[in-house]
């Protein structure tokens, strides 16, 4: 990287000269393609930091030259307010994207890949308190997380585990509503007994003040460990979690945080509904595999609320976890970075968690993140915060400003309609100018996305996720801007199921936008054929709208929810085991395991298994010198090619069984890494675009089919509910007025999201 630093200065000076240099369109086109050529040469050496710097600098030249031209040549005349106002708003959206592009280049210029340090002698290891905050999660899910935490490889006399239960607080147990109080008392007693049986600590505070931050601070009051580990209720750690993280604290007395990535067992709603989870990198992988490593270069990797180790001494300097915003994790990290503490990011998946299963829960979660990050931007002003280095200010500002993306995304979605329907000229350029500046800028942007993130983000996926969130996050942004202190913490629902495929309750606006863009596409085609004079600019706008229509079509697939009956997510383990059925012992392979059961492949001849009087068995799995065992009952059989896979459920939920489940699922951390690497495959732009176009077509048709089925059900239901009357001596059913079912709630930012 040293050589890269020296090259950055002359490259930057050359870049500034090229950005401001006036030239003809032909010269601009030649310059752009020359710079693109240099970029593509640099991109052939992705692991060479020197070429990485040069490539990013030249990509920046193309982007900033476009920005300079966009500012000086393309804005509508201020004397034409109907053109100027929307044109200027579009310009601001583009400048925001340029700023975020520059910040992202800075953040990922030299990502760090850290090696695990030695923990040292067992006698010298620090004491560790594990906090598992809970609100409404069920005992079965919590039991596995507690068991996995207890199974972590660490001296048992230096490890204490606390379940911090905000669902069984004293205030809830004494609530005036008997339904609330009875449920809280039942939960309190159940979890208290669970913790006692598993040998961990249970604590419920008096009342739920300051949400998760308040709950964690309560944990600090009742514990005394030198290090504090935080796991969400659904985040089960692997056995080696502390082995991979604690050693960093030995080497740096000013280290306050070691953060690890969040790995998920289940798809998010978009992945589930578009059926991409098994083969495409998840949306969060770009953040955890690239961006956090880039932030680590600048000592700006931040706390993500779970899967992290923190130093108690550092937390005490800020009176514990910060709670002014509803994203206490990032706010806490910002406060400690301002005081000169350091952070480290370890890019190894060491926990397995759950994502929201429904689109409503997904949007609710992202709205909380959006509002919390904007609260930090407004209330904490990280770009001016004392104690931060300039790189840290840039990184924190970029992290928080990212959540303004709904404004720019919606501007890009709707701007073409102003010209197509109303002939408003909000972008002054002819086709040669557009090709010389805008097209080369877009080529550069897509090339850099592939270069920097291609392994973890396929073409058009970022745009799709931004659009589906923008529709509702726009209201969330307005809410927090009006009153930055108003948003409140809402817990994201996990472990939900869907008994049938159906449209999300939030589907209406996505259908409205899709059909609006479809109408614009048809009308623009009509105008191109009938208005040859306007066709040059109209052709550009029509293509832009067609891209937006593709995004809107794919988004319909995201809100057409597929059935999900599986409540317990599987993890492939492939462990050799012995199965005792009566007096006979069978050699088997445990193909996968979940908190509900296991899938078994018989190595020798498959025995006769009975579903009517379910066969019971005992499974023994050996690991090193230890043997874990659990009892199961036969539930299902399926064929995987020529191999029969038999499903068995756990027949009992004793503490020993839960510990065995945790050992079976989370003892080998390479399982999580292997699953990540299998789907982190780079796809080129042309493959990604064709694939995305196919998704858009097929998924929009699927959503329309769901919608038609919904209308049909509504009509049938109206006739079934209609009154019976006598007409000409015949009983006739009178249909009621047919109304389509109103699936979408009123979604004002402060009402839905707090």
Q: Domains (ranges, CATH) in the chain? A: 122-355 (3.90.550.10), 571-679 (2.40.10.220)
CB burial class (10 A; 0-12, 13-18, 19+) of residue 712?
exposed
708: CB partners within 8 A, 6+ apart? none
CB burial class (10 A; 0-12, 13-18, 19+) of residue 100?
middle
419: CB partners within 8 A, 6+ apart? 425, 426, 427, 537, 538, 541
Q: Which of these is catalytic: 129, 165, 166, 232? A: 166
CB burial class (10 A; 0-12, 13-18, 19+) of residue 474?
middle
DSSP secondary structure code for residue 566 in this structure: -
Residue 501's nearest CA partner among 592, 455, 410, 565 is 565
Q: In whole angstroms, what is the distance from residue 23 CA to residue 481 CA?
A: 42
Q: Are 541 and 409 in contact (CB under 8 A)?
A: no
pLDDT of residue 578: 95
Q: In whole angstroms, what is the distance from residue 157 CA to residue 746 CA?
A: 53
Structure tokens at 745: 């709630």
**DSSP H or E stretch at residue 650:** strand 643-650
165: CB partners within 8 A, 6+ apart? 134, 187, 188, 191, 202, 203, 204
Q: In whole angstroms, what is the distance from residue 434 CA to residue 339 CA?
A: 48
pLDDT of residue 600: 96
Q: Are 258 and 309 in contact (CB under 8 A)?
A: yes
Q: Are 635 and 649 in contact (CB under 8 A)?
A: yes
- Concerning whether 77 is annotated as a catalytic residue, the answer is no
Structure tokens at 722: 């209609």
535: CB partners within 8 A, 6+ apart? 527, 528
pLDDT of residue 32: 80
**DSSP H or E stretch at residue 200:** none
Q: In whole angstroms, what is the distance from residue 296 CA to residue 345 CA?
A: 6
Q: Which residue has tokens 């039991």?
A: 143
pLDDT tens by residue, 503-536: 999 999 999 999 999 999 999 999 988 887 766 7
CA angle 330, 672, 695 (to 5 degrees): 80
Burial 146-184 (b: 16+ CB within 10 A, else e): bbbbbbbebeeebbbbbbbbbbbbeebbebeeeeeeebb
How many of the other CB atoms lie within 10 Å of CB of 565?
8
Q: In whole angstroms, what is the distance from residue 253 CA to residue 250 CA?
A: 7
pLDDT of residue 752: 31
Q: Are 724 and 731 in contact (CB under 8 A)?
A: yes
- Concerning whether 166 is annotated as a catalytic residue, the answer is yes
CB burial class (10 A; 0-12, 13-18, 19+) of residue 641?
exposed
Q: What is the dihedral of CA 562, 283, 701, 473, to 10 degrees?
A: 90
Instruction: Give average pLDDT by consecutive 10-residue segment, the chain, 754 residues.
Output: 55 67 80 80 69 84 92 94 96 97 94 92 95 95 97 96 96 94 96 96 95 96 97 97 97 97 96 94 96 97 98 97 93 98 98 94 96 96 95 97 98 97 92 90 90 93 97 96 84 67 94 98 92 79 96 97 84 93 94 94 90 91 85 92 90 92 93 92 90 95 90 65 54 48 38 31
Helix (H, G, I), strand (E, B) or coil at 309: strand
Q: What percentage of the chain's residues is helix, strand, coil (to nearest 5)?
A: 55, 15, 30
Residues in the chain: 754
Whole-angstrom CA distances from 57 to 7, 38, 109, 166, 749 are 10, 10, 10, 50, 39
272: CB partners within 8 A, 6+ apart? 266, 357, 561, 562, 564
Q: In whole angstroms, what is the distance from residue 334 CA to residue 377 CA?
A: 11
Q: In whole angstroms, what is the distance from residue 305 CA to residue 317 CA?
A: 19
Q: Are strands 159-165 and 201-203 parallel, antiparallel or unpaired?
A: parallel
Q: In whole angstroms, what is the distance from residue 145 CA to residue 747 CA?
A: 34
Q: Which of these is catalytic: 165, 232, 296, 329? A: 329
How many of the other CB atoms lie within 10 Å of CB of 710?
16
Strands (E), 145-300: 159-165, 201-203, 227-230, 236-237, 255-259, 263-264
Displacement of CA 604 from its chain's centroid (Å): 42
Q: In whole angstroms, what is the distance from residue 523 CA to residue 505 CA?
A: 30
Q: φ and ψ at 514, to 5 degrees?
A: -60, -50
């Amino acid at each position: 990287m040293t050589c890269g630093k020296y090259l950055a200065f002359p490259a930057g000076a050359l870049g500034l000269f090229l950005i401001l240099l006036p030239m003809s369109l032909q010269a601009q086109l030649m310059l752009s393609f020359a710079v693109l050529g240099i970029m593509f040469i640099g991109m052939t050496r992705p692991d060479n930091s020197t070429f990485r710097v040069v490539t990013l600098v030249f990509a920046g030249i193309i982007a900033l030259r476009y920005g300079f031209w966009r500012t000086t040549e393309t804005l509508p005349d201020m004397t034409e307010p109907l053109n100027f106002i929307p044109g200027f708003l579009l310009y601001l959206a583009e400048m925001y994207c340029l700023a975020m592009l520059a910040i992202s280049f800075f953040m990922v210029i030299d990502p760090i890949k850290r090696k695990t340090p030695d923990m040292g002698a067992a006698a010298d290891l620090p004491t560790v308190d594990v906090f598992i905050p809970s609100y409404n999660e069920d005992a079965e899910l919590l039991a596995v997380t507690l068991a996995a935490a207890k199974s972590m490889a660490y001296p048992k006399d230096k490890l204490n585990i606390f379940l911090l239960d905000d669902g069984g607080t004293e205030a809830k147990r004494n609530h005036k509503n008997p339904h609330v109080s009875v449920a809280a008392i039942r939960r309190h007693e159940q979890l208290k007994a669970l913790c006692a049986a598993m040998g961990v600590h249970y604590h419920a505070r008096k009342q739920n003040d300051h949400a998760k931050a308040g709950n964690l601070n309560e944990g600090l009051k009742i514990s005394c460990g030198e290090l504090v580990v935080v796991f969400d209720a659904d985040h089960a750690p692997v056995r080696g979690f502390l082995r991979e993280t604690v050693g960093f604290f030995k080497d740096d007395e000013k280290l306050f945080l070691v953060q690890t990535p969040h790995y998920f067992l289940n798809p998010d709603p978009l992945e589930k509904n578009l059926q991409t989870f098994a083969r495409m990198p998840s949306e969060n992988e770009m953040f955890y595999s690239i961006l956090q490593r880039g932030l680590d270069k600048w000592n700006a990797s931040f706390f993500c609320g779970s899967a992290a180790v923190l130093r108690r001494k550092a937390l005490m300097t800020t009176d514990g976890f910060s709670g002014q915003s509803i994203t206490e994790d990032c706010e806490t990290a910002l406060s400690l970075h301002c005081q000169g503490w350091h952070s480290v990011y370890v890019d190894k998946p060491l926990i397995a968690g759950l994502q929201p299963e429904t689109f409503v829960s997904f949007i609710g979660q992202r709205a909380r993140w959006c509002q919390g990050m904007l609260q930090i931007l407004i209330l904490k002003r990280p770009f001016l915060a004392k104690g931060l280095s300039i790189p840290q200010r840039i990184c924190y500002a970029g992290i928080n400003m990212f959540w303004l993306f709904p404004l720019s995304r919606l501007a890009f979605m709707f701007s073409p309609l102003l010209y197509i329907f109303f002939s408003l000229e909000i972008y002054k350029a002819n086709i040669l100018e557009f090709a010389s500046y805008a097209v080369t800028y877009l080529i550069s942007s897509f090339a850099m996305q592939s270069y920097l993130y291609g392994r973890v983000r396929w073409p058009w996926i970022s745009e799709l996720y931004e659009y589906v969130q923008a529709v509702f996050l726009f209201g969330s942004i307005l809410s927090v801007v009006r009153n930055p202190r108003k948003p409140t913490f809402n817990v994201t629902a996990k472990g939900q199921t869907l008994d049938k495929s159906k449209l999300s309750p939030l589907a209406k606006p996505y259908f409205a936008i899709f059909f609006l863009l479809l109408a614009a596409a048809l009308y623009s085609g009509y105008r191109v054929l009938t208005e040859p004079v306007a066709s040059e600019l109209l052709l550009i706008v029509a293509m832009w709208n067609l891209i937006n229509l593709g995004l809107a079509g794919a988004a319909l697939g995201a809100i057409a929810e597929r059935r999900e009956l599986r409540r317990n997510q599987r993890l492939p383990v492939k462990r050799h085991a012995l199965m005792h059925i009566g007096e006979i012992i069978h050699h088997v392979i445990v193909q996968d395991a979940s908190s509900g059961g296991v899938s078994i492949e018989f190595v020798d001849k498959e025995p006769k298994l009975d579903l009517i009087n379910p066969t019971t068995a005992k499974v023994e799995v050996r690991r090193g010198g230890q043997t874990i065992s659990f009892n199961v009952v036969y539930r299902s059989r399926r064929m995987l090619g020529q191999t029969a896979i038999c499903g068995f459920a756990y027949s009992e939920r004793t503490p020993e069984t839960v510990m065995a489940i945790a050992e079976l699922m989370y003892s080998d951390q390479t399982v999580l890494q292997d699953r990540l690497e299998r789907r982190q495959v780079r796809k080129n732009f042309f493959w990604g675009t064709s694939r995305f176009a196919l998704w858009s077509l097929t998924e929009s048709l699927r959503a329309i089919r769901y919608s038609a089925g919904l209308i049909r059900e509504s009509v049938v239901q109206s006739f079934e509910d209609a009154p019976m009357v006598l007409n000409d001596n015949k009983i006739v059913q009178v249909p009621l007025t047919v109304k389509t079912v109103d699936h979408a709630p009123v979604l004002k930012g402060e009402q839905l999201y707090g």
